[in-house]
Amino acid sequence: MIKLFKYLRPFGFQVALIVVLIFLQTMADLSLPTLMSDIVDKGIAMGNTAVIWKTGIYMLIVAFIAITFNISAGYLSARTAIGFGMNIRKKIFSKVTAYSLDEIDKFGTASLITRTTNDVTQVQTTVFMITRMMLMAPIMAIGGIIMAVTKEPKLSWILILVLPLMTMFIVFLTVKGFPLFGIVQKKLDRINLVLRENLTGIRVIRAFDKILYEQKRFDNSNMELTDATLKVNRLVALLFPFVMLVMSLTPVLIVWVSGPLLENGSIQFGSLMAFIQYSTQIMFSVIMITMMFIMIPRAQASAVRINEILESDTSIKNSVKTQFPDKPAGFIEFRNVTFSYHGAEQPALNDISFTAGPGKVTAVIGGTGSGKSTLVNLIPRFYDTAEGEILVDGINIKFMEQEKLRSLIGLVPQQSRLFTGSISDNVKFGNDSADDAEIRHAAETAQAYGFIMEKKNKFYDIIEQGGLNISGGQKQRIAIARAVVRKPLIYIFDDSFSALDFKTDAQLRRELRKETENSTVIIVAQRINTVMDADNIIVLDEGRIIGSGTHSQLISACSVYREIVESQMTLEETV
């Protein structure tokens, strides 16, 4: 929590102002009971009307000042807390955008989302409470005690009895409650994850009739969250009645004790009333401190989770001295590259070496899980290699500026992601400065022009969230157009033709050939047809290269390749 306070720095002046306002307000509040006792003891008891009027007006003014200061302080607190939350969210967002996929995998998307929303809100609310109430509580408590004791020293032993009792009870509950708050946030992450999976996978869940199963999974997480929250709330529920009880019994005790003293005239009626009011003010501040004890551990659990994000640095950084080829050509070389995912037992890629050059098409084929996507994801440096190196135009990509490296690459990922916006916006995502003619040309190359023209608003047709309103094949083609409009030196197609029919696939690759004459093209595919005419075909199996060469070379030299060919050829012939 303390670490996060540095994000309060921009609000330093406001916070200082709040402190001053609250101090003055508390002073005003503390003077009211004394003024009132003056009215009673010096005015009413003595029948002095002038004193009643004078002190009464004085009280009104003081009360008005207290209210004005209170409202201003509240306004400033709200502004400070909201601004504080906004700054932290902004910081988290920029941090997460800079993360390599390694860190994103580590935290998990669901957790990153809860941390940015729920956890920040938790901390933000606490800052509001601190500035709004908790600053006031200690001043009020100490001031109240001083005033009460000077007013009626004979009764002050009651406070000495009550206050420690209250404090001990609160501390006890806080110590018990602290670990629970962390658990609640974890359960919230879990429920977020299940919900996300359910919503994004709703089609699969329905198709496989897993609604009941998913329902159970959700119920379980929901139950766990409920249990944890219940435990926390039970503690809190114990706390408040106890505090309220003490608060109501104390005046009773005071009145009871002071009865005889009133009778023999050793205390006056007005100052007894003032003493009761002071003790209420003190108790009230103790309640505020109680709330602080409840809120701060809770916010602390959230703050820890936020700090985890803010403090874990991306593992992929630009090196201090970056290099870049004078005349990039797009030549790629893998040298003995081995790579493992975070926490995986076996490397996903093992001792991979190959080269891919401009004007050539390099294809990667292999079963699912053989490491094809992993291989191409290393080229834009989404992950860093464990061993070996990847060179682009003879320079190790670790020494290149990431932005520059990526500017050379047009990537069509296996999962084509489109963004909410028009088709034109989505294509332009690849190149902001593309004009209409270039966008149209890219769409034509990607075989997307035909279906775009059939849309009501053509290029300005809106793609909904996640691209749900267009087909998988259409999505892939827009993603391809997005890469083409970039005119990159390196094209990477990760299984990008799988949702296309054979005819469109062939047509698209013919058009692409014209476009990519001087570029390095890497095509990942499952279909023999797609890779057959590549200049070099790499056959991957369990993360290792088990053969490479042209189609005809591989047919005679690589048994796995021959098997893939045979299985697919017979299939097509029978169709």
- Cβ distance to ligand ADP smaller for residue 372 or 428: 372
Residue at shortest CB range from Mg ion: 373
Choose, by CB under 6 A, the member of 144, 330, 371, 410 that binds ligand ADP: 371
Burial 161-180 (b: 16+ CB within 10 A, else e): ebbeebeebbeebbeebeeb
Confirm or reject binding of residue 372 to ligand ADP (CB under 6 A).
Answer: yes
Contact at 8 Å (CB) between 370 and 541?
Answer: yes
Query: Considering the complex, what minimum distance in angstroms separates the CB of residue 376 from ligand ADP?
Result: 8
SS3 state at 253: helix
Site for Mg ion in 305-344 (CB under 5 A): none
Binding residue (CB under 6 A) for ligand ADP from 369, 450, 466, 472: 369
Residue 526 makes contact with Mg ion by CB under 5 A: no
Which residues have C-beta within 8 Å of that of residue 255, sequence separation ≥ 6?
272, 276
* Minimum distance, C-beta of residue 111 to ligand ADP, in the bound complex (Å): 15
Residue 391, beta-bridge partner list: 333, 396
* 461 DSSP 8-state letter: P
| C-alpha span between 148 and 277 (Å, rounded) | 9
Cα–Cα distance list, 549 to 60, 356, 389 (Å): 94, 12, 22
Closest residue by Cα to residue 246 from 277, 286, 275, 278: 286
- Measured from the CB atom, the residue of 324 and 341 that comes closer to ligand ADP is 341
Tell me if 290 sits within 8 A of 76, measured CB to CB: no
Q: Report the site for Mg ion in 371-390 (rule: CB under 5 A).
A: 372-373
d(CA 463, CA 457): 11
Q: How far is the CB of 369 from ligand ADP (least distance, A)?
A: 4
- In DSSP terms, 492 is beta-bridged to 411, 522
- Residue 483 CB, shortest distance to Mg ion, in Å, is 17
CB of 375 to ligand ADP, least distance (A): 7
| Partner that binds at residue 486, options Mg ion, ligand ADP, none, CB closer than 5 to 8 Å by kind | none
Give the range of 19-27, 249-257, 277-285, 413-421 binding Mg ion by CB under 5 A.
413-421
For the record, the structure tokens of 257 come out as 């004790």
Picked from Mg ion, ligand ADP, none, the partner binding residue 369 (CB below 5 to 8 A depending on kind) is ligand ADP
Per-residue binding string, ligand ADP, 304-343, x by CB under 6 A, is: -------------------------------------x--
Q: Given the complex with ligand ADP, which of 368 and 552 has the nearer CB atom?
A: 368
> Which of 163-171, 371-379, 447-455, 561-569 is the region at the interface with ligand ADP (rule: CB under 6 A)?
371-379
User: Is residue 27 classed as helix, strand or coil in its secondary structure?
Assistant: helix
User: Which residue reads 């001083």 in tokens?
Assistant: 146
Site for Mg ion contains 370 (CB under 5 A): no
370 binds ligand ADP (CB under 6 A): yes
Q: What is the dihedral of CA 158, 159, 161, 167, to 10 degrees?
A: 160
Taking the least distance from each CB to ligand ADP, the nearer of 373 and 504 is: 373
Query: Phi first, then psi: what are they for 562, rounded to 5°?
Result: -60, -40
Min. distance of Cβ 329 from ligand ADP in angstroms?
Answer: 27
Given 97, 264, 368, 433, the residue binding ligand ADP (CB under 6 A)? 368
Helix (H) or strand (E) holding 56: helix 49-98
Q: Contacting ligand ADP (CB under 6 A), which of 26, 37, 277, 374?
A: 374
DSSP annotation string for 263-278 = HTTSS-HHHHHHHHHH
Tokens representing 572 are 């097509």
* Cβ pair 438, 430 in contact under 8 A: no
565, with CB counted inside 10 A (0-12, 13-18, 19+), is middle
Q: Which of 414, 526, 529, 550 binds Mg ion (CB under 5 A)?
A: 414
User: In the complex, what is the shortest distance from the CB of residue 524 to Mg ion, in angstroms, rounded to a whole number?
Assistant: 7
Count interface residues toward ligand ADP (CB under 6 A): 12
* Complex with ligand ADP: residue 39 or 349, whichever CB lies closer: 349
Q: Which stretch binds ligand ADP (CB under 6 A): 76-84, 210-218, 362-370, 384-392?
A: 362-370
Neighbours of 324 (CB within 10 A): 14
**Cβ distance to ligand ADP smaller for residue 76 or 411:** 411
Choose the one of Mg ion, ligand ADP, none that binds residue 341, judging by a C-beta under 5 to 8 angstroms depending on kind: ligand ADP
φ, ψ (nearest 5 deg) of residue 310: -65, -25
CA 207 to chain centre: 31
Does 348 interact with ligand ADP (rule: CB under 6 A)?
yes
Partner that binds at residue 366, options Mg ion, ligand ADP, none, CB closer than 5 to 8 Å by kind: ligand ADP
Within residues 66-105, the interface with ligand ADP by CB under 6 A covers 105
Return the one option of ligand ADP, Mg ion, none that residue 94 interacts with (CB less than 5 to 8 A, by type).
Answer: none
Q: Is 489 helix (H, G, I), strand (E, B) or coil?
A: coil
Token couple for 101: 């996929």
First to last CA, the chain: 66
Nearer to ligand ADP, 369 or 450 (CB): 369
Sites of contact with Mg ion (CB under 5 A): 372-373, 414
Sites of contact with ligand ADP (CB under 6 A): 105, 341, 344, 348, 366, 368-374
